[in-house]
Structure 1
């Protein structure tokens, strides 16, 4: 696979590449600028050549591919009955919140966190409760004392866990996940574990599915996952909701039928099977390239933009960059790089109040594109510093 191939994505209906100004480099939105595994392309060609794209259902091969993947990659044993469908994790999460909560209930999130969590909670007329992560010695940690206090509230019904965490890139340890689960079980709080990025984890770290931590967690939790981030097939809208609790699973299936969401994308089923059965070598190669990209960004920032705070992710293909020393925050910070550097990053403030001085960068693209984006950002910061200095001199005259 040629990861350095800068494949043209403009005029392809790509959300990421649809910005009006074609000079802008999009380093936002968590999809990759890489072609998918050849196994997936072959499966898509075969299905397309069949020429009939009618209503589609699931099959033994689909379930088997998922079960085998989770056993092989994560040593997590799934039962076929646990596997439920959603066209995306966020739609599935909205349905789950309808089951778990009623208007006025509270849902806990660990901010800064993937911002659609907030809208999912608000969609269901619930209150967002923030268990803000602690930044300590260059690493984000969970505030367990605060989590205990907020989970103890009788109105707290659900914790949405992001594992690995988006955007800060933490891959939670066994001890951390055990503490989280124990607190939730103690206070009768359901856990929705978003493990979308669980396959994109770097050397020295290991993703641990919540079901593996303690068998007791399975009856009070749901795992949301998908081949989408792993294999760059989000547009095929095939996500996986793992629900061991039979009563909950039946309620969830009823919700799917209620909203007419019970049938998968005709190509999504084929892509999932091909990805999980034949895409592992492609993924291993991808992870090696992404690690190289991470190191490249780290070296570049250290040598040229030392006033930018770099949080090296343990997982995900996203970097959480801090710009506290620039003296800008919120939308002004995001617009600065968009307008002055022609680089589009993800707005940190959308992930929560603690993200106001941050921006999220997607590094799942050819290294040449990363280099160009970083150089543009460096130049924009340099001009900004020069202008600041000029203004100070004028004031002092």
Structure 2
């Protein structure tokens, strides 16, 4: 089947977060919002049709998570990522961030240290602080080509007896890395040596571009299975964040029981019957749509890269292997962070995520969500090229 991503349904009057909050965040409604990590691309018809079918039954009441829902996800993960889970490993969650907060409370105590590898999605460090744990910051290293890798020596030098948990972002938001197996194995060695639990946020695992291949942390070895909590779901892959459903996979029984003590106290319950139907159908019927989507996203990224290549002394796109989030190195513009943000808002009319929001290491960077339809992407790159031409003249 052929899927068309040339246009998408407008979202301005649909209570979409990225549109509703434009004026509050950017001081104007006159920007294209490219910050929140959902797609301005229509959620697949087969997902919406599953919800419509469920609505044929006139009662929407409390519902248990159907085993068939997790079975569909387990089969997907085995086929697409060569990792095996069983039904008892799986728990419902309404979001990865909620799961992360449970993990912090379950596996650490006040005063313990949690490893965070910056620059990274801001809830990674905000969640640690809110639980009164200490952040052990292990910044990523940027290589000559602009890509990033782990700084293992820095990590080894900072760990002590209070270090209990590592928050891994894989694939990485915002730098776009899909970690190679050997990189993850280095992290595993350190964590095994120091009895550190790994919470692996793998929500972007399906959004990976060839030849890169996602390696689930839990798949590295039996030892990895014993220390890993994996957060996965359909929200990013199929543009289903509004269904508020994801999952947590915990193969180790002791870890699962510790997690459940906090999880049950909070009372996560079982989610929405409509979300169950959407989740299961996405995993059963979504492979062909996803392949077409990734082809489209990569074209969008290449369009952005070509524009930036015209102004290499001003702006560079970090090489991407996964996600639909471009990490723009704007340090060549020699602007302070507020000035850089204002440049994109006031001149380019683009509402991006400021790099500082991902940690101090994000200074001079901006994150741009390129998961939009083709027509909108044309407008974005045209606007960006125009203002960079003007800036070049002034510079």
Same fold per superposition (TM over 0.5): yes
Return the offset for 1:275: 0.3
Deviations 1:80-117 (A, max 9, x none): 11101211010111011101111111111111111111
Distance 2:6 2:58 in 1: 33
**Alignment check: 8 A CA contact 1:161 1:193 kept:** yes
Residue 263 (structure 1) aligns with? 270
| Structure 1 residue 137 corresponds to structure 2 residue 144 | yes
Return the offset for 1:370: 2.1
Residue 230 (structure 1) aligns with? 237
CA 1:154–1:109: 2 relative to 1, 3 Å = same
Number of residue pairs matched? 387
**Alignment check: 8 A CA contact 1:163 1:195 kept:** yes
Greater shift, 291-300 or 301-310, is seen at 301-310
Distance 1:263 1:67 in 2: 18
Distance 1:219 1:32 in 2: 34
Greater shift, 12-21 or 107-116, is seen at 12-21
- Structure 2 residues not aligned, in runs of 5+: none
**Alignment check: 8 A CA contact 1:169 1:319 kept:** yes
| Structure 1 residue 325 corresponds to structure 2 residue 327 | no
Return the offset for 1:385: 4.4
RMSD between aligned residues: 1.5
Deviations 1:274-318 (A, max 9, x none): 000011111011011111112111112213565211112100011
| Structure 1 residue 29 corresponds to structure 2 residue 31 | no
Q: Secondary structure at the match of 2:310?
A: helix
Superposed counterparts of 1:74-93, under 5 Å: 74-93=81-100
Q: Secondary structure at the match of 2:327?
A: strand
| Structure 1 residue 41 corresponds to structure 2 residue 48 | yes
| Structure 1 residue 97 corresponds to structure 2 residue 88 | no
Residue 258 (structure 2) aligns with? 251
Residue 290 (structure 2) aligns with? 283
Distance 1:305 1:372 in 2: 21
Superposed counterparts of 1:56-135, under 5 Å: 56-135=63-142
| Structure 1 residue 293 corresponds to structure 2 residue 296 | no
Distance 2:366 2:55 in 1: 39
Greater shift, 255-264 or 73-82, is seen at 255-264
Superposed counterparts of 1:244-393, under 5 Å: 244-303=251-310, 307-387=314-394
| Structure 1 residue 10 corresponds to structure 2 residue 22 | no
Return the offset for 1:23: 2.5
Distance 2:332 2:282 in 1: 43
**Alignment check: 8 A CA contact 1:329 1:358 kept:** no
Distance 1:251 1:265 in 2: 25
Deviations 1:322-343 (A, max 9, x none): 1111111323311221122210
CA 1:16–1:6: 2 relative to 1, 3 Å = same
**Alignment check: 8 A CA contact 2:309 2:316 kept:** no
Return the offset for 1:127: 1.2
Distance 2:152 2:195 in 1: 16
**Alignment check: 8 A CA contact 2:315 2:332 kept:** yes
